[in-house]
């Protein structure tokens, strides 16, 4: 039986625990807070999935540092991710280590070190940008591959979503200042928490052969709410190594939610949608003035995480050679996030020197 140790019994930890049990995995769900473990067993899990699964083991994370597993998932606040990842690799390295997004805060502390550690360890490390694993994403990738149209005129991506849904999933939080969510410096705010849009923009740029993001221009709408200080809106202009130009918009205020990406060629377009309609993602393609074709992909919220577990099964089997959720892809997204904060602060374009590594010195 494949085993997974999950560090962090919050919303994401419960999603992953359920997905792993659906696939028949053994699950050890840990947290350093006894109340979080109680809440998981008595409230979160049974309310979402109708009843508690007695096969899930619960434990204090401090007591399981040397506990081995095939897969370890870190689902704690972003500013704790990389220290925990180092601890896992030092004490009980798994075959696969997945870190929830965003990888860290925009200071990039620990990024260069975890990249070096990953290369030395032989462990597969990934970051939980699971929208890159969806059926709609695979369909979009196939569309790009099967009908090459050359470099598009532009690429756009949006994750515009009021974070009320996050607080509904975490009812023990009274507002942004109660967690990392209300602090951009800790990985919260629009740029960090909703960085699925930056990541999927980079994913499609990769599929298109446009190269890495080389230039970032950003405007961030920073807000102070009590002790919290976060960006409620992030608007990024991006240019890749091959000259593809486009934009990313992320916010924590839009309702209803808009999660989409669009590739625009000279005579055609393709759109990628999450939750295009209730219970379905979509890919829309259009040519000239013709009627757009809509392909729907049915899914539930639980399916996002089941697909992630299925992907990790393939990683464990060695059949995945270029994972869209690899550590490198997650670090590439962190570099764009960090560049956005630098650009907004200094009110200028920021160039990313990829040869300088995953550190602030690469932002020029």
Q: Enumerate residues 6+ apart whose C-beta is below 8 A from 347.
A: none
**Cα–Cα distance measured from residue 340 to residue 72, given in angstroms and rounded to the nearest whole number:** 30
pLDDT, residue 150, reads 85
Residue 64 has φ and ψ, to the nearest 5°, of -120, 20
Q: Render each residue's pLDDT in the chain as its tens digit; 364 residues.
A: 999 999 999 999 999 999 999 999 999 999 999 999 999 999 999 999 999 999 999 999 999 999 999 999 999 999 999 999 999 999 999 999 999 999 999 999 999 999 999 999 999 999 999 999 999 999 999 999 987 788 999 999 999 999 988 888 888 888 899 999 999 999 999 999 999 999 999 999 999 999 999 999 999 999 999 999 999 999 999 999 999 999 999 999 999 999 999 999 999 999 999 999 999 999 999 998 889 999 999 999 999 999 999 999 999 999 998 999 999 999 999 999 999 999 999 999 999 999 999 999 999 9
Q: For the domain 131-300+325-362, what is the CATH superfamily, name and number?
A: Dihydrodipicolinate Reductase; domain 2 (3.30.360.10)
pLDDT, residue 172, reads 85
β-pairing, 245-251 with 213-225? unpaired
Element (H, E) at 46: helix 45-49
**Cα–Cα distance measured from residue 23 to residue 37, given in angstroms and rounded to the nearest whole number:** 22
CATH 3.30.360.10, domain 3-100, yes or no: no
The first and second tokens of residue 144, run together, are: 């790009």
pLDDT, residue 173, reads 84
**Cα–Cα distance measured from residue 347 to residue 345, given in angstroms and rounded to the nearest whole number:** 6
pLDDT, residue 167, reads 85
Domain with CATH 3.40.50.720 in the chain: 3-100
**Cα–Cα distance measured from residue 273 to residue 262, given in angstroms and rounded to the nearest whole number:** 9
Q: Enumerate residues 6+ apart whose C-beta is below 8 A from 214.
A: 239, 240, 241, 351, 352
pLDDT, residue 165, reads 85
Contact, 111 vs 82, CB < 8 A? yes
β-pairing, 3-7 with 71-74? parallel
> Measuring CA to CA, how many Å separate 349 from each of 85, 93, 197, 239, 360?
32, 40, 20, 10, 15
* Cβ neighbours around 54 below 10 Å, total: 7
Domain with CATH 3.30.360.10 in the chain: 131-300+325-362
Beta strands in the chain, from DSSP E residues, in sequence order? 3-7, 26-31, 57-60, 71-74, 96-99, 124-127, 154-160, 213-225, 228-240, 245-251, 258-264, 268-277, 280-287, 293-298, 350-351
Contact, 249 vs 151, CB < 8 A? no
Contact, 285 vs 268, CB < 8 A? yes
CA nearest to 326, candidates 78, 114, 62, 46: 114
pLDDT, residue 166, reads 86
**Cα–Cα distance measured from residue 247 to residue 219, given in angstroms and rounded to the nearest whole number:** 11
**Cα–Cα distance measured from residue 185 to residue 338, given in angstroms and rounded to the nearest whole number:** 10
């Amino acid at each position: 039986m494949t085993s997974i140790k999950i560090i962090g019994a919050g919303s994401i930890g419960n999603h992953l625990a359920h997905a792993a049990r659906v696939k028949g995995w053994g699950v050890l769900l840990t947290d350093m807070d006894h109340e979080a473990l109680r809440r998981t067993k008595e409230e979160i899990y049974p309310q979402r999935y109708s009843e508690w699964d007695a096969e899930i083991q619960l434990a204090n994370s401090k007591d399981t540092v040397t506990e081995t597993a095939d897969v370890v998932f870190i689902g704690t606040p972003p500013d704790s991710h990389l220290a925990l990842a180092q601890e896992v690799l030092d004490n009980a390295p798994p075959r696969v280590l997945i870190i929830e997004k965003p990888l860290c805060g925009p200071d990039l502390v620990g990024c260069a070190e975890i990249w070096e550690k990953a290369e030395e360890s032989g462990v597969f490390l990934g970051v939980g940008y699971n929208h890159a694993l969806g059926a709609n994403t695979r369909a979009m990738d196939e569309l790009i591959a099967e009908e090459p149209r050359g470099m598009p005129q532009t690429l756009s991506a949006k994750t515009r979503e009021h974070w009320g849904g996050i607080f509904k999933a975490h009812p023990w939080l009274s507002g942004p200042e109660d967690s990392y969510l209300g602090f951009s410096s800790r990985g919260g705010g629009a740029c960090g928490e909703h960085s699925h849009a930056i990541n999927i923009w980079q994913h499609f740029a990769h599929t298109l052969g446009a190269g890495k993001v080389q230039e970032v221009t950003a405007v961030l709408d920073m807000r102070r709410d009590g002790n919290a200080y976060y960006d409620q809106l992030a608007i990024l202009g991006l240019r890749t190594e091959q000259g593809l130009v486009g934009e990313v918009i992320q916010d924590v205020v839009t309702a209803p939610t808009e999660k989409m990406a669009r590739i625009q060629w000279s005579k055609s377009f393709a759109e990628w949608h999450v939750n295009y309609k209730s219970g379905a993602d979509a890919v829309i393609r259009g040519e000239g003035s013709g009627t757009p074709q809509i392909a729907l992909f049915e899914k539930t919220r639980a399916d996002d995480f089941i697909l992630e577990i299925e992907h990790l099964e393939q990683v464990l089997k060695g059949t995945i050679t270029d994972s869209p959720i690899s550590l490198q892809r997650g670090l590439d997204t962190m570099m764009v996030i960090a560049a956005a904060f630098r650009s907004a602060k200094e009110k200028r374009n920021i160039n990313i020197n990829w040869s300088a590594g995953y550190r602030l010195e690469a932002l020029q």
